Structure formats: structure tokens, C-alpha cells
Chains A and B, each alone.
Chain A
């Protein structure tokens, strides 16, 4: 490598580097970008980083760290300006794979809340389903408008050292992060306009239009011009920026629970002109909080009577309540079977091999090989409660073993996957280093329409060797270019 920026870039040949071969040869999709970066010094990179940081702060793309509130410090989600590039062919596989997965998840949800054929055919264990924390009995014997449950789904993918993509998890409840995809792109276009003009990068900006069209497609029967709203928990929610961004870019109202009320099983919002009927709600409030009459009675974020209006078909909620039953990590292990059962197809993207601790032989393997495995609670997100065997102390492993034996349904184990790495600029060392990344792909499903956002969110673990990319664990993000 001749360019000064990557002259001292160190490569670990055991891990898949997205931009370099193990012999430090540039991968073909990155060649034009490296060519362009020859003209840049580390000082330039520092300046561009600072520009990007300012731009995020001024746009208000920040989240509050609660312990910092007294001092008024707002954080930005760290952004690395070196983009991740995905060649067209590779992307097509991802797109087909996540669509297949989401079609199957949707059929699964419809089945488990209605006919329960998959249980009767013994493809999926009954007790596993009924022990899912997010299995929602208020959804039984009811099919939502348009027969869609997971209107918005985020599929987390990783690339292993074998160069193949694997699905790490499905986020079928209220996946977030899509606004970062669009804001990252905007910032990159300002910084690297000439680089963009040399690449055919697929646009990400039609997402809000697609989302709105998805909402309109699932409107209650007989409503021609549906009133769509986005329901947010409010300005103090960490994803508020995203809620406001999406509402603004769809041209719909951003509402809070206190702006809505239910009268005779119809939902209305309180406007200065009087009550106005609402037909479709993209809710970014968790199941537990959407209706105090049905779920948590102490919730102030929801709307009393909403579930009743929903079950009458007078309003559409997206995503449907109870979709969490499909992204339970123990259910995940059955996804290949679920795909085969409903679609008669082989999964296009593989699952990571997973051990279910509730099975005796698999539990035995997990307990004996815990230092080679990642242990995950089935019902948590954001990287909480995870134990990475190789990075843990003996005490932590023993404690985990005890927890597993205590509640076997609660844990699954996976081999430690070697997430691919990507050159990432590190402030402390002022140079490019390998950092682990993943990819969240966003899929929209409406009545007779599907859409996968061409790009998705590349998350990057900023500390060396760290495998956790979640923003709550100090992760950052990168712009993701799908080439046309």
C-alpha cells in the first residue's frame, strides 16, 4: 500500500476484512475510493470528522446520556466517514434473503395467533411458543388489516470469516436506526461529493415515501385517503430524533399518547380544529405501553381503548402487537424450519448455529464448552445480559452456568462468530484500524408490497476487539453504499 493513510494499517489475516484481502490487497469495490483517498492526509480526515460531528450536533441528531443531564451534555452516535461498500450481486442475495425471512415470519405470526397449524404439525414446539415473553394473547383469533404483522423489520446480519452472511437476529418489534442511514448519507454527500460522483451509489432517500405507502396500503377497509400518524413516547425518548425525522419526511403528524383518544371504538387526535380521525398508527411505543386498559395500567404513553379499536378494524397499528414472539432468540433457532414450513424453500441466508439450553444434549455441550460460546438471554436486546465466553472471567462463566441451569428456557448459546472488520479511523491513535461491523437491513411489508432499503445501517464496534456494535455499548456507524 502506497497511500499514507493506510501505510500502517495492520491486518489480522484470521478475520474477514471488508476492504482488504489477507495480503493487504484492496478489494475491487473499494479501489476507486482508495484512489480518491490518496489525496487526503490524516489532518484532512480529522477536519472532515470534525465537520461531520458538528453537522450531526447542529441537526440535533443526538441522544441524552441520562447521568449527564445535569450538565446538559448531549452525545452523538459516533460516525466514521470511511463508507462500507457492498457490491450489487452481494446485495441482491441479502435482499432476497431478508425478504424471504420476513415473509415467513409474517406467515408464522398469522398462524400462531390463529390456526396454529405449525404446532399441530409438530414443526414448532407448543411449550416454546407459550413461554415466549412477547406472545400476546390479545392478538388471538384476529388478523390485522392487510394481513401484515411486521410492517417494519430490521434484520441484523454479520459476515463471518468464511465470507458468508449470517442472520444474527430479527428485530420484529420497533427496530430503530433508519434515520441514521439517511443522515449519514446526507453528511457523506456534503463531505465527499466528488467521490459520490465516481460511484453509482443506490439512493436511500425514498425510504420515507415507501414507509408512507406501506402505511396507506394497510388502512382500514373502506378508507380511501387514510390519516396516518407516528406515535412517539416523546422528546425524552432516545430515538425521538428518528421519530421526528420520519414524521417530517413523510409529512404526517408526530403524536404522543396524550394527543389521541378513543371514542366509540374510533381513534381521534386532538387538533386546534377539533377531533380528527386517525386510520393508521406507526407506533414507536412498545406493546406493553400502548393501551393502559389492556396492558400496563400505569402507562402514560399509550391511548386507552386503542386495542379495542384495533381489533374492530377501525385503526391499523404497525407493527402489530405481539410480533415480539417472532424475534425471541429461542424462536430464532427455528427460523430455517419456519421458512421451509411456510414457503417450501431453503433459507437464502443462514442462521448462526444455535444451541438451545432447554434441550438436554445441547445444554451439556454448552456447559462443557462455555468459553468457546456466546450466551444470550432470549428476551433482551441492545447487547444487555450477553456473556462472551472467551472474554469472561471464570467467575462470570460459573455464574452464567448457574443462571442457565436455573432457567434453561431463557438462554441460547452460539459459537463466537468472527464478525468481519472494516478500516475505521480511531481518534486515540490517529490512524485507521480494523474494527468489527455488522449490518442492519430494513424491510417494509405492506398489503401486496415489499421493499428493502438499499443500504441499511452498518454499525461498528469502536473499541479494539469488541464484538458488540450496539449504540448502547459504545458502537458507532458508517454510511453503507450498495453499488448500482
Chain B
């Protein structure tokens, strides 16, 4: 038995939990890579890129590193901060308190309290790395509890649907942000150390550097980085993998209405087919358009899914 309202809460809990992880990892990788980046990498641009990924206006950058990191991570006044997203995840979990396990609820609540505790101490850039580590460790714990303390039925399918949809979105957004960074490199520097640096940070932001390196057995470049993050159905951070998982969980959800030919499933299947049968050479000239089109498709699928199954 599951209320539609609870289904909605579980889906959004998954989305917020996943979003937090990407915000934290992206900001960390960007910021720390910039500290010893090749000379022409502009610090201002790094901060701008972090702010944009986290939904803040670019002009925030007249402030110091500390201020930017603070506002991204634990500012209560910023409704897009990691802390605010975690609070949203927690409020959704609280609303679904009778559906999820006590272990999962307590882990999410403790996670929030620990992060919130950083608001009581002075903040500097060293604090930021602690915060990111706290987030990544707790994300892993919570995903373990989702897999191991819930029924593998609708309840977990809804959370996982949220997680995979959100991950597909965030991977696409990170990719678009990096393509933008690379587009700003002066022509003379293309295919130089600085471009390699950007592809490396792209993969690290998606926690994919090691596996990509291992898969192709060479230093990441434009072609292998993009192919890996977009089209590899076996790697859990790739767009292809997450869409396939989203389809699997959506089927579980759709069965509750005996409706496996619904429009969200149709559009998701169509997008997966496009990813499966597109070759990188066909799209590498205008990667940004390709990535943007995928992103709008995913947004449309998520909205359709919500109105079809989760409205109340």
C-alpha cells in the first residue's frame, strides 16, 4: 500500500540526496584542481562555474573563496545550498517516515544534524573539505541502507528512480559546464595540457576518472571522456547506465497501474534508443546541443512521470 503523496516524497528524497552528492563533488574537484591548475586557468571562472552549477548568480564572485564555498555548502539563507537540499531530502523522508525504515530515517536525520553543526563553528576552506567528505561518506551509508533495509518493491524503486533521473541530469549539467569551460580556452591552447586538465576534472567531478583510465588505458582526452560518460552502459555514472536504470525502476512503478505503455516509459525508451545507437562522431562537432537536448528530454520525462504516477 502506498499513498501517492508518499510516492512523491520518496522520488524527491532520492533526487535531493543524489543532487547533494554531485554539488559537493563538483565543487570540491573544481576548487581543489584550480589551486594548482595550469597557469592560464582563471580562478574567477572556476568560482563562476561552481556557482552556476549550484544555481547561484555568477556575480556572486566578487566575494572571497570562503564566502562562495560557504554559500554553496551550508548557508541556511541560500535555498540552493547543499544544506538546504539536504533539509528538503530530510523533510521528504520525514513525511514518508512510516514507509521507510527507522535505520534509513535516522541516518538521514543524523547526516543533516552533522552538516548543520558546521554552522556553529567558524568557516574556512579547510572546513569545506571536511564537509564534502562528510557528504560523500554519508551518501554511501544512505544508499547502502536504501538497498539493504527497504523492500525491493515500489518504495525502493521510487527512491532509485529519483536517484538515477537526478544523476542523469547532473552528469549532463556537469558535461555542459565543462564544454563551456573548454569553449573559453584560447585556440592556441587547445589539445594542450589545459584541455587535458579540463577532461580530467570532468571525469573526477563524475567520480569516473579511475575507471575511464582503466577502460581505455590512456590519459583522458575529449573522445574517450565523452564516450565513457555518455554511452557506456556498464559504468554507473554514465548517462546510458542511469537512463537504463531509470527505465527498470519506472517499469516497477508503472506496474502498480498495470500500465506499461505509458508516455514517460515511451519517451524514456526512445531516449535510451537514441543513446544506444548514436556514435560519438555523429555528435562530437556540436556536443553542447546534443547534451542540452538530452537534458530537456530527461526533464520532460521526469515531469511526465510525476504527473502520471505521483500526483495527489
Q: Interface residues, chain A, CB within 8 Å of chain B?
A: 57-60, 70-72, 234-235, 240, 244, 247-248, 252-256, 258-259, 269-274, 276
> Which 9 residue pairs of A and B lie closest in terms of their CB atoms, listed nearest first?
A244-B97, A247-B98, A254-B98, A248-B98, A58-B110, A60-B109, A272-B256, A272-B7, A270-B4
Among B106, B119, B310, B312, the residue within 8 A (CB) of A259 is B312
In the complex, B221 has a CB within 8 A of chain A: no
Q: Chain B, 93-132, contact with A by CB distance < 8 Å: what is the 0/1 string?
A: 0110110001001100110010010010000000000000
Contact B98 A253 (CB under 8 A): yes
Question: Across the interface, which residues of A come within 8 angstroms of B312, CB to CB?
Answer: 258-259, 270
In the complex, B3 has a CB within 8 A of chain A: yes
Question: Across the interface, which residues of B come within 8 angstroms of A253, CB to CB?
Answer: 1, 3, 98
Question: Across the interface, which residues of A come within 8 angstroms of B95, CB to CB?
Answer: 234-235
Given contacts A58-B113, A273-B257, contact A255 B97 (CB under 8 A): no
Question: Across the interface, which residues of B come within 8 angstroms of A60, CB to CB?
Answer: 94, 97, 105-106, 109
Given contacts A247-B98, A248-B98, contact A273 B76 (CB under 8 A): no
Given contacts A235-B94, A247-B98, contact A272 B109 (CB under 8 A): no
In the complex, B91 has a CB within 8 A of chain A: yes
* Distance of B102 from chain A, by nearest CB (Å): 7
In the complex, B253 has a CB within 8 A of chain A: yes
Q: Chain B, 77-94, contact with A by CB distance < 8 Å: what is the 0/1 string?
A: 000000000010001001
Question: Across the interface, which residues of B come within 8 angstroms of A248, CB to CB?
Answer: 97-98, 102
Question: Across the interface, which residues of B come within 8 angstroms of A247, CB to CB?
Answer: 97-98
Decide if the interface of chain B is mainly helix, strand, loop or mixed: helix
Contact B3 A255 (CB under 8 A): yes
* Distance of A205 from chain B, by nearest CB (Å): 14
Q: Write 24 A-B pairs (CB below 8 A) sorted by A numbering.
A: A59-B102, A59-B106, A59-B109, A60-B97, A70-B76, A72-B87, A72-B116, A244-B97, A247-B97, A247-B98, A248-B97, A252-B98, A253-B3, A254-B97, A255-B3, A258-B312, A259-B5, A259-B312, A270-B312, A272-B3, A272-B4, A272-B310, A273-B1, A274-B257
Question: Across the interface, which residues of A come within 8 angstroms of B113, CB to CB?
Answer: 57-58
Q: Chain B, 1-45, contact with A by CB distance < 8 Å: what is the 0/1 string?
A: 111110100000000000000000000000000000000000000
A-B contacts besides A70-B76, A271-B2, 14 pairs, CB < 8 Å:
A60-B109, A72-B76, A244-B98, A248-B98, A253-B1, A254-B98, A259-B3, A259-B4, A270-B3, A270-B5, A271-B1, A272-B257, A273-B257, A276-B1
In the complex, B154 has a CB within 8 A of chain A: yes
Output the residue of B1, B95, B98, B110 with the most chain A CB within 10 A: B98
Contact B94 A273 (CB under 8 A): no
Q: Interface residues, chain B, CB within 8 Å of chain A?
A: 1-5, 7, 76, 87, 91, 94-95, 97-98, 102, 105-106, 109-110, 113, 116, 119, 154, 253, 256-257, 309-310, 312
Question: Across the interface, which residues of A come within 8 angstroms of B87, CB to CB?
Answer: 72
Among B5, B76, B105, B119, the residue within 8 A (CB) of A256 is B5
Question: Across the interface, which residues of A come within 8 angstroms of B154, CB to CB?
Answer: 272
* Distance of A229 from chain B, by nearest CB (Å): 9
* Distance of A251 from chain B, by nearest CB (Å): 8
B90 to A, closest residue via Cβ? A60
Bound-state Cα–Cα, A240 to B93, Å: 13
Contact B76 A71 (CB under 8 A): yes
Bound-state Cα–Cα, A240 to B105, Å: 14
A248 to B, closest residue via Cβ? B98
* Distance of B89 from chain A, by nearest CB (Å): 13
* Distance of B181 from chain A, by nearest CB (Å): 35
Given contacts A60-B105, A259-B5, A274-B257, contact A244 B94 (CB under 8 A): yes
Output the residue of B1, B87, B94, B116 with the most chain A CB within 10 A: B1
Question: Across the interface, which residues of A come within 8 angstroms of B91, CB to CB?
Answer: 235
Contact B3 A271 (CB under 8 A): yes
Bound-state Cα–Cα, A21 to B113, Å: 43
* Distance of B311 from chain A, by nearest CB (Å): 9
Bound-state Cα–Cα, A416 to B116, Å: 44
B119 to A, closest residue via Cβ? A72
Bound-state Cα–Cα, A188 to B102, Å: 18
Contact A58 B98 (CB under 8 A): no
* Distance of A238 from chain B, by nearest CB (Å): 13
Bound-state Cα–Cα, A57 to B116, Å: 12
Given contacts A58-B110, A59-B106, A71-B76, contact A272 B98 (CB under 8 A): no
Given contacts A272-B256, A273-B257, contact A258 B5 (CB under 8 A): yes
* Distance of A420 from chain B, by nearest CB (Å): 35
Bound-state Cα–Cα, A456 to B303, Å: 48
* Distance of B105 from chain A, by nearest CB (Å): 7
Contact A269 B97 (CB under 8 A): no
Among B4, B94, B98, B109, the residue within 8 A (CB) of A271 is B4
Question: Across the interface, which residues of B come within 8 angstroms of A240, CB to CB?
Answer: 94
* Distance of A410 from chain B, by nearest CB (Å): 38
Contact A272 B97 (CB under 8 A): no
Question: Across the interface, which residues of B come within 8 angstroms of A273, CB to CB?
Answer: 1-2, 256-257
Contact A269 B3 (CB under 8 A): yes
Question: Across the interface, which residues of A come within 8 angstroms of B119, CB to CB?
Answer: 72
Among A58, A70, A71, the residue within 8 A (CB) of B106 is A58
Question: Across the interface, which residues of B come within 8 angstroms of A271, CB to CB?
Answer: 1-4
Question: Across the interface, which residues of B come within 8 angstroms of A270, CB to CB?
Answer: 3-5, 312
A245 to B, closest residue via Cβ? B97
* Distance of A101 from chain B, by nearest CB (Å): 32
A57 to B, closest residue via Cβ? B113
Question: Across the interface, which residues of A come within 8 angstroms of B310, CB to CB?
Answer: 272
Contact A272 B2 (CB under 8 A): yes
Bound-state Cα–Cα, A271 to B154, Å: 12
Question: Across the interface, which residues of B come within 8 angstroms of A58, CB to CB?
Answer: 106, 109-110, 113
Bound-state Cα–Cα, A315 to B130, Å: 53
* Distance of B93 from chain A, by nearest CB (Å): 9
* Distance of B192 from chain A, by nearest CB (Å): 47
B116 to A, closest residue via Cβ? A72
B105 to A, closest residue via Cβ? A60
Question: Across the interface, which residues of B come within 8 angstroms of A71, CB to CB?
Answer: 76
Among B94, B105, B253, the residue within 8 A (CB) of A272 is B253
Output the residue of A248, A259, A272 with the most chain B CB within 10 A: A272
* Distance of A293 from chain B, by nearest CB (Å): 21
Question: Across the interface, which residues of B come within 8 angstroms of A234, CB to CB?
Answer: 95
Question: Across the interface, which residues of A come within 8 angstroms of B3, CB to CB?
Answer: 253, 255, 259, 269-272
Question: Across the interface, which residues of B come within 8 angstroms of A256, CB to CB?
Answer: 5
Bound-state Cα–Cα, A252 to B3, Å: 11
* Distance of B270 from chain A, by nearest CB (Å): 24
A70 to B, closest residue via Cβ? B76
* Distance of A253 from chain B, by nearest CB (Å): 6
* Distance of A283 from chain B, by nearest CB (Å): 15
